[in-house]
Amino acid sequence: MDSEALKKYSALHPKPAGLTLQYGTAGFRTKAEQLDHVMFRMGLLAVLRSKAVVSTIGIMVTASHNPEEDNGVKLVDPLGEMLHPSWEEYATQLANAEERELQKIITEICQKAAVNQHKDASVFIGRDTRPSSEKLSQSVIDGISVLGGQYHDYGLVTTPQLHYMVCCRNTQGQYGKATLEGYYEKLSKAFTELIKQSPSSGESQRHLKIDCANGIGALKLSEMEPYFPKEVLIHLYNDGSKEKLNHLCGADFVKVHQKPPTGLDMEPNERCCSFDGDADRIVYYYKDATGHFHLIDGDKIATLISIFLKELLAKVGQTLEMAVVQTAYANGSSTRYLEETLKVPVHCVKTGVKHLHHKAQEFDVGVYFEANGHGTVLFSKAAETKIRQLAKEEKDDEKREAAKVLGNMIDLINQTVGDAVSDMLVIEAILALKGLTVQQWDAVYTDLPNRLLKVQVADRRVIDTTDAERRAVTPPGLQEKIDALVKKYKLSRAFVRPSGTEDVVRIYAEADTQENADALAHEVSLAVYHLAGGKGAPPQP
């Protein structure tokens, strides 16, 4: 390691005095002007990680659904997964180090993580469409170069596309070609094969309106459009040509505000969907004949996919174990439908994609989605091998055809991470194959009315939870109080959990009517305020 070069370059990317940041589920995120030193140092860290695992590592410059002024950075591990938790710790240390300590901290990381300095390092870089992203990715490149790493800059890509490239590269092309063309070809070929089987194939065109959050999704969908079969007509809105990224639009806005994005006119019963700013989340919605808005969130997406996969697995006749993984935020109606009607096991884990992904890996087929629309399906190696073999060799026509459909589903799904483009194509294929309208899909079950609130507290650490965040262990008496409140309402449940980022406690409540859900949420928020050190005025109904 050339300590003079490190000193020289580090001085070009100085750390603002007094700034401390924490690497979380979303990597680092803050105002773009505070991130130059972080980007440089994540370039350094990616080189160390690459040497440690002797594989290509990804770096994505994005702040996803945050406002345009923000930016952020996430590292991608060899198989396209999120950075290993022990390295999140190193990322935080390196980002917060004073300049004079940099060399020492790098040496410490190398010792702790057994980094072989003599190995080659390779890093893939991608960025979103924010005005600050190009300059910040240049700072990443400075960091990689100082430590002698090789890099490939993919420029403007969606977050899931970068995850895909990293996985392709490290599986020596088994997962696909590590190019944008490779991604478009793999997905569109699988999608075209699936659509061919649909009852109305070739006659009616399928229209879909897409709100691209004024982000990268619009650019990449227009690049991909020539690859789509002619039956599919996508109409892009909020494509970034006029308005600001994520402003009054995008999946997060639609989910939180339960209303359509600006910049998209909806006719009754038209299928519409929204991506978020870096295209790793998707939600669907429509307006009924009376003008009422209906949101179809991650829970309902997981349910549609589960219904379809369960039918196919039954036809194939193999004993493959399928499960759905949710968090405590999943609507109670979805959990009940999956367990009681569909008879699919449901597992609840802590909030955060890494927990869902990790749990889903335990099954032959693991479906996971957060209610916010981030999710995917994982197939075990054994399940995939079995399905591909049946598609080739099975004598029974029905079984073989079902195995072929499953094989195409495996190719269409981006198993590295939630991917709005891939998830959209999966949903469109299932709706076409099952001949379902968006209303019929929505009617599979009715969401229980719910309410999300937050209460400001002096210190969020006073609340500790268990049972996948569904029960509070501390402060004493809080859970007993919640249990008593929940008993007052029908079909109700409520839970509280500390925010991962700020001193607030998040409250979720659901019940048989909106009025009851609101009342329960309010009463729970008062209990939190009084028992967990609320700040400011007590919550008002």
Catalytically annotated residues: 64
Phi-psi region of 509 (alpha: psi -120 to 50; beta: other; left: phi over 0): beta
Peptide bond into 475 cis (omega under 30): yes
62 Cβ contact partners less than 8 Å away, ≥ 6 residues apart: 71, 72, 73, 74, 127, 128, 130, 133, 159, 277, 278
Which two tokens mark 121? 């390092």
Burial profile 235-266: b = 16 or more Cβ within 10 angstroms, e = fewer: ebbbbbeebbbbbbbbbbbbbeeeebbebbeb
- Find residue 59's DSSP bridge partners: 75, 125
269 Cβ contact partners less than 8 Å away, ≥ 6 residues apart: 286, 287, 288, 289, 437, 438, 439
16 Cβ contact partners less than 8 Å away, ≥ 6 residues apart: 34, 37
- Find residue 56's DSSP bridge partners: 122
Going by the annotation, the residues of the binding site are: 64, 276, 278, 280, 370-372, 497-501, 506
Cα separation of 372 and 384, whole Å?
A: 28
Say which residue the tokens 């490239």 belong to. 165
Q: In what helix (H) or strand (E) does residue 426 lie, and over which residues does it extend?
A: helix 420-434
Going by the annotation, the residues of the binding site for Mg(2+) are: 64, 276, 278, 280
DSSP assignment letter at 165:
H
Cα separation of 76 and 140, whole Å?
A: 14
| Angle, helix 102-112 to helix 36-53, in steps of 10 degrees | 30
Say which residue the tokens 């420029």 belong to. 155
Could you tell me the end-to-end alpha-carbon distance of the chain, in angstroms, rounded to an integer?
60
Q: Are 165 and 158 in contact (CB under 8 A)?
A: no
